[in-house]
Structure 1
Amino acid sequence: SLPAGATQGRTQKVLDQVTDYFLTKEKDNVRSVFTVNGFGFAGRGQNTGIAFVSLKPWDERSGSANKVEGIAGRAMQAFGAIKDAMVIPFNLPAIIELGNATGFDFELIDQANLGHEALTNARNQLLGMAAQHPDTLVGMRPNGLEDTPQYKLTIDQEKAEALGVSISDINTTLGAAWGGSYVNDFIDRGRVKKVYVMGQADARMLPGDINKWYVRASNGEMVPFSSFASAKWQYGSPRLERYNGLPSMEILGQAAPGKSSGDAMNLMEELASKLPKGIGYEWTGMSYQERLSGNQAPALYAISLIVVFLCLAALYESWSI
């Protein structure tokens, strides 16, 4: 991903660098590279992209250095030199539907409705604390899009009502002018085609063009948007992220070589406990299943002992040990 506000052209240049690296530096291991501009596991936007790298069969890339882990490790070092973007190579999980990458999947949750800014600060604080433990945690990164510039339009409902303009008409006009609105279908040379209405490009190119648009009031008069609306630039999240119905941010990471996933998860829980009050966490994906199975281990051991005892009692026909 690139900084917020980066154009699609800048993103494509980074994707070209990634493709060139795999097809030249790793040509003995890589069969093909497929890139998608404007899309990623974290969401969609001009500043994000993804590359799918297809490797050659195992018998053509023998040796531990040519396994997925070795290839990803070398790519991580090479991509660290790309200053215009953060490029993270990772392997897909064993079960595709449970997460997007190997390692752990951590959800930071705003449990006290502290707000987006407080949750973002808590996420950055947690990532900063995790960076101080490179012996246990590696590949720490947020799995989401950073705040981007947004043009916020505020409707004064009292003014709109006084002018005889309904909220539904305002929404309809905005949708049709700046996006598009479906009208109907028609038959053209034996094919059904759709009709959409939308504003001309030169009338919706700049933020100030919103004042060029009018809404029909209940008395039939045309009322300009400037009469009941105001607009300003702001930064905000490009998408709403929630976990169990609460605002959240996803964090991905891995255990350092020589450390187990349990060690990494225990450290993450310890660091999360130092965050401000009202910020909680949950495990999700494969990490949730790992934690769930770990909590069940004592009960499973106890049941196993009972089963073994009952089998021995039946074998020797005696309850005494």
Structure 2
Amino acid sequence: MNLGQLSINRPILAMVLSIVLLIVGAIAYTTLPVAEYPEVVPPTVVVTAQYPGASAQTISDTVAAPIEQQINGVEDMLYLYSQATSNGQLTITVTFKLGTDLDKAQVLVQNRVAIAQPQLPEEVQRNGVVTRKNSPDILMVVFMLSPDDSLDQLYISNYALLQIRDQLLRLNGIGDIQIFGARDYSMRLWLDPDKIATLGMTASDVLAAIRAQNLQITGGQLASPPISDRAFQPNLTFTGRLRDVSQFEDIVVKAGEGGRTVRLRDVARIELGALDYSTNSFMLRKTAVAMLVTQRPGSNALATAKGISDTMAKLKASFPKGLDYNIGYNPTEFIAQSIHELIKTIYEAMLLVVIVVLVFLQGWRPA
């Protein structure tokens, strides 16, 4: 007995099977991953490092080469390529086979990078070598801006990094969030070469003095054991790392004869600024900060995008005056519209089938 005869001879069983299939399809609809396009781009892991003041050739020889030698041949890797720029930035992109678990790939690359780190220059090790996942699925781009220009890009960037990015990363389905046009707070020093040369110093001497006096240290305790005749054991606290421009200006870079000291303000101009000014983002002809949100593989794009929109609307209530956001890119709108048209087509097809059956079989039972 084929399926057609079974449906005609045993209509109740056929209806039960139809209902079961309908329920299974409804459950599958809510659990299947939804995206604009299928996964056709191989996943990648990006390794970044900074070597301030070094040329592209120096970075390639002293930083890129040791890391590439260790990463090459990592499990499921297809190929890798690196890019060194004249501003001291190194980017190594490792491409893996389609379907590779990005979390596993990141760990494998990180382990290889750790092996290469002892061979890197001290300055590179101090700045850190970052290994992160780079999903090709751009889910959304959220722009932070000040419509009335009352807030500068430095403030907007740090607010997005400290107050918004962490909140969005907690949402289910988000792989990573990259900030373009970032302006991380940094203490910038502009050295006067003539004054430094007059004092017989170099930029390295000034840098060494800053590192020696800008430390996070513990003070310990007074009257701690084995001293036992004290009623209290107070903890000692120190200033630790310097916090503002005036504290950096008071750093002693050289002690001369007769008790004369040379402070940092005597040989440099200090200001609180941004770590990097090389990238900029714009939205509605306004300077902005772009947060590029990538989707975690296998997640539901519609649910994730809705979570981002709801979270941003909730966070907007606590925004400082003059700050706003704009969702500049959201491909899930096309996905939602496509699903709406698909559901509409299914209902139309069901209606046409019922009409055709009624017209030709002249009865509701077969319909």
TM-score (normalised: structure 1):
0.49
More strand by share: 1
More helix by share: 2
Larger radius of gyration: 2
TM-score (normalised: structure 2):
0.44
